[in-house]
Chain A
């Protein structure tokens, strides 16, 4: 059962090939980590998933829908930086996820109070209730990313895209964020794509780890060929998926 379908996607800027021949099927609720060397096109691939860019060739469909031409509410995103609005308070950042689709991008009266109450509940859950009235710049990096994730999830996207979300955090905070994300996922069963530099992070959080690399390389024209998915690991059960297979399918055991 494929939820996100990527069919023969190529991306080229002028004569520079970035991504070529990417085919992918992702089931609903899967957590896909994307790793690879710098400049191997993993962020480009995320932008394609986000529909911030349109692929030169091929298409990306979510749940069989039409390929998107611009970002929308189907896709939630958290970037490494600039993920929350600095001119809105922490509470308003959450409310924004609800009121942005309205005509003026604002709630008034009863609706506004209700949205603020819901936002306060969310903040309570993610442990940011005590800074609800502050501006994001006063928050630590970890708190800002927690807010960014909560904001993205408040809009109830079909897929969540994370672009090196914990890249700028210190190791301790990063571990806390892993727990936070794992807990959120156990509650919502979201489909997640996460680009990361950190292999262990990719394996720890992901159900699947995709490695982007260039399979073809012309030394006279290094930009002629793009990257594609060269490995597709099953990362469940700490990357050794079959060690517990007997627990799952006891009938397979030797009689």
Chain B
């Protein structure tokens, strides 16, 4: 039988899915074991137990000076920036994307501009953003917006162009104006794509967020990681990294579920 036709059965499939995770954990554990055997005070690869203890402390114990639990306040600060940034980017790109996709005049004016804009490396703009918007929240939110909006705009405008011409003509023969076609035909059809597009750009959004926080911030997940890096506190860094991964995964899952719930017609024909 050809390799392309061999499919794993259910128990094997679960096992195979778990394999890479287990492999990474075992590799880490072995590495940490070897280093700690050579030098018990080694900080580079703390034992999994140490990381677990640290994680428990970080999640439950307050800061000695202020009493607030730093991990939660960091999480809140980061999620707020991420939410505002991604929200603004989504709203902006929906409006511009629909305009580019529907209106020939907007397309001529904006589509090349957006294409060029999306080539600008956002992180290279970070110094400019810090100079213009200061070191506060605004510069971080703007970095996320600048970083992901061009990508979503290009994706959405292409999706609008992909809507069969027949449907647009049909709407016109039913007497719909441009605004009604946008509201009743185009928007409902691209909202699922908007969610998919946001899901794809969340990775980039996290990257920009952490980068901005690393450079200048007073709280936030990225800020904390780069702060404790000075003390080589690998246990704290690892806890934060795992926590960020988990958050990203949960947001992605939530968006996927939302998309499935909100747009039942997408799967109606399957």
A contacts, CB < 8 Å to B: 50, 52, 70-73, 75-77, 79, 81-88, 96-97, 100-106, 134-138, 151-152, 155, 157
Contact = CB atoms under 8 A, between A and B. Distances in A.
A83 B170 contact: yes
A134 B265 CA distance: 9
A104 B180 contact: yes
Given A97-B174, A100-B176, A79 B269 contact: no
A53 to B, nearest CB: 11
A101 B174 CA distance: 7
A135 B265 contact: yes
Interface of B: 164, 166-167, 169-177, 179-181, 183-185, 188-189, 263-265, 268-269
Contacts of B189: 86-87
Given A100-B180, A100-B184, A105-B183, A76 B173 contact: yes
B189 to A, nearest CB: 6
B188 A87 contact: yes
Q: Tell me the dominant secondary structure on chain B's binding face.
A: helix
A71 B172 contact: yes
A73 B173 contact: yes
A72 B175 contact: yes
Q: Tell me the dominant secondary structure on chain A's binding face.
A: loop
A100 B175 contact: yes
Contact of A52 (B169, B174, B179, B181): B169
Contact of A152 (B172, B173, B177, B264): B173
A120 B165 CA distance: 28
Given A100-B180, A137-B265, A82 B164 contact: yes
A136 B269 CA distance: 8
A152 B170 CA distance: 8
A86 B170 CA distance: 12
B173 A71 contact: yes
24 contacts: A50-B169, A70-B172, A71-B172, A72-B173, A73-B175, A77-B170, A79-B166, A79-B170, A82-B167, A85-B171, A86-B265, A87-B263, A87-B265, A100-B175, A100-B184, A101-B174, A101-B176, A103-B180, A104-B179, A137-B268, A137-B269, A138-B269, A155-B175, A157-B173
A105 B173 contact: no
